[in-house]
Structure 1
Amino acid sequence: MKSSFKKYKILYFVILITTFVKAQNNNTLWYESAANNWNEALPIGNGRIGGMLFGGIEYDKIQLNEETVWAGQPGNNVPKDYYKEVEAIRTLLFSGKYKEAQEMANSVFPRAAEEDNNYGMPYQTVGNLNLNFSNHQNTTNYKRTLDIGNAVSTVTYTNNGVDYQREYFVSFPDQVMVVHLTASKPKSLSFNLSMDSPQVEHSISYENGIITLAGTSGNVDNKEGKIKFTTLVAPKLDGGELIENEENIEIKNADEVTLLVSIGTNFKNYKDLSNSAEQSAKTHLEQSQSKSFATLKQAHIEDYQKLFNRVSLELGENTNDKIPTNKRLENFATAEDLSLVSLYFQFGRYLLISSSRPGGQPANLQGIWNHKLSPSWDSKYTVNINTEMNYWYQQKLLIFQSYINLYFQC
């Protein structure tokens, strides 16, 4: 069997040393300004909970998703008694009569669903967590990063001689989003916390030191929205004061603040909505409240890196990591930057790990990140290509690794 691999030894060796050596890239995306829109925000997630981070200075928005928040309710939209028509369409396709097959498909399955049916429900947003900072106009040294090597995002800047830092991640072991705020000078953290949601049916309360956003997904076509969700945001303060108002929670003169964000829904499985959204969110929150930020972060990174560190890729010397990622993308049209290619490759792996974990739902059209109630193509499972695109390269990596293992066994 060795001889059958002989002519491929050089190729395998080159691939091996470029793909499975420890990469020199720092696997970090970074920017010198906050996101101007949703597409510029940075995604974080644990497969179930997703967040898009804008990283604003005076006003920071975190857009929230939970993988089971869809419009409508469980049901079956497959029309009945179309077996003969489907067989006829297949016959035309296999006969090479593609135009006739398309025309018949358009007739049998029109673009607009029948009044008593639908073509699937849209994936929907939960809402937004808003952080408002006063007197943060005179800032310097701003930097917004996403380290895909440990799945932690940061925002750092200096304001009036004080260095501020925010860290963000979503933990799979603890099933909460964590936002950690620190400052180089004691009693420097003062800001307001609030929430909002575009969902028609929702309520927000600020009680017992916790923000609660509860709502129900929307009605679409012939389906009434019945996915109930509850989001709990609990600030943990080191020093300072927490004040509850009618429209926000005010934090004054704190040394350090950790925000724990827990989301639960009534979704149990594709045909059962008997879970308690409130209890689900409360359970994860209470289990994480007793843990320190350092403990939560360490557990998150260790869990994430078990998946991410399986593959490394180095295509060239990383000489451009001092350039903001958006500038590197602009320069790529005219200048070689092979390390950006490997960063792009790893970013794809980061997105899939962050939007698809065992025990949860598959990544939909946009992973788990969506800020709309009616997104493009409903952000649903379009299995003609999109689901396959999400997952195929992970399978390719496993196949390649098996080739390497086989090579060394021969």
Structure 2
Amino acid sequence: MLRPPLLLLLFLSLAAKAQQPLTLWYTNPAEKWTDALPLGNGRLGAMVFGGVGQERLQFNETTLWTGRPRPYARPGAAQQLPQLRQLLAQGKQAEAEALAAAHFMGLKDHEEGYEPLKAAWLQKVKAVGAPQALAATGWQLISIPTPNGWEAAGLDGLDGAVWFRTSFELPAAWAGKDLTLSLGRIRDQDLTYVNGQLIGSDEGISKKRRYRVPTAALKAGRNEVLIQVINYYDKGGLIGVKEQQPVFVAYPEGADPATGVALSPAWQYWVQDREPPLTPTFQASYQPFGDVLLDFAPANTPFSTRHYERRLDLQQAKVLTVYNLAGTAFTREFFASYPRNAIVGRLLANGKGLITFKARFGSPHQSRKTYRVDDHTLALAVQVRDGVLRGVSYLRVAARNGKVTVTDQQLQVEGADEVTLYLTAATNYESYQKTDADPEKRAAETMRGVSGQRFDKLLQEHLRDYQPQFNAYSLDLGHTPNEQLPTDERILKFSPTTDPALLALYQQYGRYLLIASSRPGGQPANLQGLWNESLTPSWGSKYTTNINLQMNYWPAEMLGLSACTAPLFGLIGEAAEAGKVTAKEHYNAGGWMLHHNTDLWRGTAPINASNHGIWVTGAAWLTQPVWEHYQFTQDKEFLRQHYPVMKQASQFFLDFLVRDARTGWLISTPSNSPEHGGLVAGPTMDHQIIRDLFKTTSAAAEVLGVDAELRQQLQEKARQLAPNQIGKHGQLQEWLEDKDDPQDTHRHVSHLWGVFPGTDIPWADQKTTQAARTSLTQRGDEGTGWSLAWKVNLWARLRDGNHALHILENLLSPAETGSGSERGGVYRNLFDAHPPFQIDGNFGGAAGMAEMLLQSHAGYLDVLPALPAAWPAGEVRGLRARGGFVVSLRWQAGKLTGLEIKSESGQPCEVRYGDKKLTLNTKAGKTYKLNGELQPL
């Protein structure tokens, strides 16, 4: 079959882009990871950079983590429970936190025997002083500060002892004066020298290093600063400080730091020792796998290209890069195939024999090797430093004409007409309890299933799998000229009125990301979905269960992606097994429970610190998606299968709750209002979640016709739980005590869980609803990305569409400011910024937009409950509602004009729009059409 000339393909693709709103596109290659475009099939993820001289695909496999199967719960921790409760009842929070820190937190990996190893290692590295460091060879340049750790400056995965050196010029007028050397914050420990004299040492990321430099240590002219930085785990380096006062300056003691002299920006570093003993860690971290690097010859710069464009087509889940170089038009296409568990690419040029490049693997793992598999395949093998998991990736090339050669280091293609690339990867992970799989065999088997297949055939197979899910939903909020701008320019110029289509694109991008990062057979979407480039990702890129994991799945049911929840339910089932041990060892309770984080190995014990790690309602919250899935699908067999996790979560609280001596209410203690206010007795959020858990477990039991006695017990206990309370500022109290600060703008709004995503504060309870509104107003309209997303949903549930849209506008603000700092918003590739990148804001924002258009949590379809004035006209098709309904609707001039409701399970359906109501006795499979007055058509 003859192919159309590539220039014609390029023209057609550019024309299609102008007509296709569901596209992210750019006129320059990605400069950094948050510019690159994501692909994923639920198991493999890749970030495509679109470079001209070099293409980079940074890729992940969803089961490559640190850690290993091991015990997480601390045996006998429950012995401390009575004393912890007593201390909290007596108002002795600090004492309770100290006791919990010492005897109640979960077990760390490598905890036993660590301190002697650490002491010996420290003695060894500190034996090297300034003279020996200065005499060392191999000093290299580095850019300082490194706000996100020295990993961001090319030292990814480095733990150990590293020396840094720079200098400053001493003004003659300062002769005889003592100075202050300001270095900001350092990870973790430093020994700082000036002209070879130790002038200060400290440890801890929160401590700002300002050291006195005695005049005796100074000399006229140039003064050398030498810093030994010792880092044990996670990120390291000189990270600066977030404050107005200058850092990396020297100034006379007592003087204004702004009058100081800056340290030379020509910093150098020397790695002294990169093998500290493995630091004890509570939980594991998600890891990158590697990079596929395509080096093109000659390696021209982007400035020599014409008509450059890269884009992500959401409807095809495909990344395309096109450009003209020296008169030749080049095209690259990549997609992630779920049916074949592979990433597939194609390289084209508009002439014969014009494709020449070298392909190689890179990886940040210290333990890695590449090797030739056969005359078309190169392999990468990696082993995580801290853990039992290893992985193998295969890269295979099929070239039409031309020459292919493979060595142990690279794969070379010369003079080909067309090239197809196939990438597979696998690990030895079997389950959270087993790691005895053969990654080489897995990668090879997967490659055999995809290699040799034509690109077009694989693409069509991919589209048949992907498009039925993605195309089940559509949203049109209107169109403006800004829609034709590149995506990064649209973000900079965004407002809801100038570019409403960017919001529609953002919601659809959230749906795309969920399909890409959560498919049956894979792991659930973690804090970064399944994309991660760092060995030390923020918060381990784990599953944070005090909101973030749950938020990842908020849009699934409403936006037609119910199938994407399968990995979540897999995690819940496994965590329920692991959580039984934690319930017993830490609380002497039955059932199962989970604290505020879990990982690949399903750790459920408290982690990090006692002031926020002891939070007991993670399992209870994770039963909500189970009940939601049943409500949306009416799948009784699914409910029957997963009812035990609801029942056992309820059983834990039947055993755990205690009666408060002061009020007589049942309360949750010890616990925490997530990451706010320390260890307490009776946080409001706990009681809201537990009430909902008891209600939904009772309802599920009734649906299934089981456990009548348990239902009665749960209903009785729910009535005895501490109720929502309104405080002295008119706010909904976050704690049992009335101690909220109306000036507090903390990112968590945990006590509003009963508004969203819970149902503990119904709209009909206007008094409590108003108190929740007051609390939300007091917390403000700013925040990290996921916090903004939660506020969108809350304002939607409070039926204030204009306020919800205002928060959405903040959520879509540029994350990267001109000063180089970051804030909550979006990066150039529309990834959510915590900052740094966290995917939950993308998912939460997508869900919030759906809540503005339709709500069904109260037992009826509430149509356009929070429509903002800036969306005067629009159409949405394929919204899902509880009861098994698929809803499409249209509006003009801010008023509903048409409504279609398809009943998938034949349930009764009450519809409300404003003050209008209609009840339909539906039949399964039938669609009901109504006008704007809710009159049948």
TM-score tier after normalising by the smaller chain length: 0.7 to 0.9
Q: State how far apart, in whole Å, the 2-side matches of 1:356 and 1:73 are.
A: 23
1:218 alignment partner, one of 369, 381, 385: 385
1:17 — aligned with what? none
For residues 337-356 of structure 1, the aligned pairs below 5 Å read: 337-356=499-518
Structure 1 unaligned spans of 5+: 1-23, 220-224
1:304 — aligned with what? 466
2:339 — aligned with what? 173
Q: State how far apart, in whole Å, the 1-side matches of 2:473 and 2:86 are.
A: 44
For residues 185-334 of structure 1, the aligned pairs below 5 Å read: 185-208=351-374, 209-219=376-386, 225-317=387-479, 319-333=481-495
Residue 46 of structure 2 corresponds to residue 51 of structure 1: yes
Q: 1:353 to 1:371 in 2, by over 3 A?
A: same
> Of the two structures, which has the highest relative contact order with CA contacts closer than 8 Å and spacing of 6 or more?
1
1:161 alignment partner, one of 299, 321, 327: 327
Q: State how far apart, in whole Å, the 1-side matches of 2:82 and 2:324 are.
A: 67
1:36 — aligned with what? 31
The Cα of 1:396 is off from its aligned counterpart by: 4.0
Q: State how far apart, in whole Å, the 2-side matches of 1:107 and 1:183 are.
A: 64
Q: State how far apart, in whole Å, the 1-side matches of 2:51 and 2:85 are.
A: 53
Q: Percent identity?
A: 35
Q: State how far apart, in whole Å, the 2-side matches of 1:68 and 1:96 are.
A: 45
The Cα of 1:76 is off from its aligned counterpart by: 2.6
Larger CA deviation: 303-312 vs 243-252: 243-252
The Cα of 1:397 is off from its aligned counterpart by: 3.8
2:281 — aligned with what? 118
2:297 — aligned with what? 134
Instruction: Tell me the SS of whatever aligns to 2:72.
Output: coil
Contact 2:67–2:283 under 8 Å retained in 1: no
Instruction: Tell me the SS of whatever aligns to 2:553.
Output: helix
Q: Which amino acid aligns with 2:295?
A: N
The Cα of 1:107 is off from its aligned counterpart by: 5.0
Larger CA deviation: 376-385 vs 233-242: 376-385
The Cα of 1:25 is off from its aligned counterpart by: 5.6
1:144 — aligned with what? 310
Larger CA deviation: 127-136 vs 24-33: 24-33
Instruction: Tell me the SS of whatever aligns to 1:320.
Output: helix
Q: State how far apart, in whole Å, the 2-side matches of 1:102 and 1:251 are.
A: 62
Instruction: Tell me the SS of whatever aligns to 1:394.
Output: helix
2:120 — aligned with what? none
Larger CA deviation: 174-183 vs 201-210: 201-210
Instruction: Tell me the SS of whatever aligns to 2:39.
Output: strand
Contact 1:25–1:314 under 8 Å retained in 2: no
The Cα of 1:177 is off from its aligned counterpart by: 0.4
Q: Which amino acid aligns with 2:389?
A: I
Contact 2:370–2:379 under 8 Å retained in 1: yes
RMSD: 2.5
TM-score scaled by structure 1?
0.86
Q: 1:75 to 1:333 in 2, by over 3 A?
A: same
Q: 1:284 to 1:245 in 2, by over 3 A?
A: closer
Q: Which amino acid aligns with 1:204?
A: T
Larger CA deviation: 73-82 vs 62-71: 73-82
Contact 2:29–2:52 under 8 Å retained in 1: yes
2:526 — aligned with what? 364
1:384 — aligned with what? 546
1:74 — aligned with what? 69
Q: State how far apart, in whole Å, the 1-side matches of 2:283 and 2:430 are.
A: 19
Larger-gyration structure (1/2): 2
1:7 — aligned with what? none
Structure 2 unaligned spans of 5+: 1-18, 113-279, 561-631, 633-879, 888-902, 904-908, 912-919, 923-937
Aligned residues: 381
The Cα of 1:364 is off from its aligned counterpart by: 1.1
Q: 1:158 to 1:102 in 2, by over 3 A?
A: same
Q: State how far apart, in whole Å, the 1-side matches of 2:337 and 2:312 are.
A: 15
Q: Which amino acid aligns with 1:118?
A: T
Larger CA deviation: 238-247 vs 96-105: 96-105
Contact 1:26–1:149 under 8 Å retained in 2: no
Q: Which amino acid aligns with 2:453?
A: K
The Cα of 1:85 is off from its aligned counterpart by: 3.5
For residues 100-111 of structure 1, the aligned pairs below 5 Å read: 105-106=100-101, 108=103
Contact 1:71–1:218 under 8 Å retained in 2: yes
Q: Which amino acid aligns with 2:349?
A: A
The Cα of 1:333 is off from its aligned counterpart by: 4.9
Cα deviation per residue 1:90-122 (whole Å; 9 max; x = unaligned)? 7888x7969566565445456995823631111
TM-score scaled by structure 2?
0.39
Q: 1:96 to 1:283 in 2, by over 3 A?
A: farther
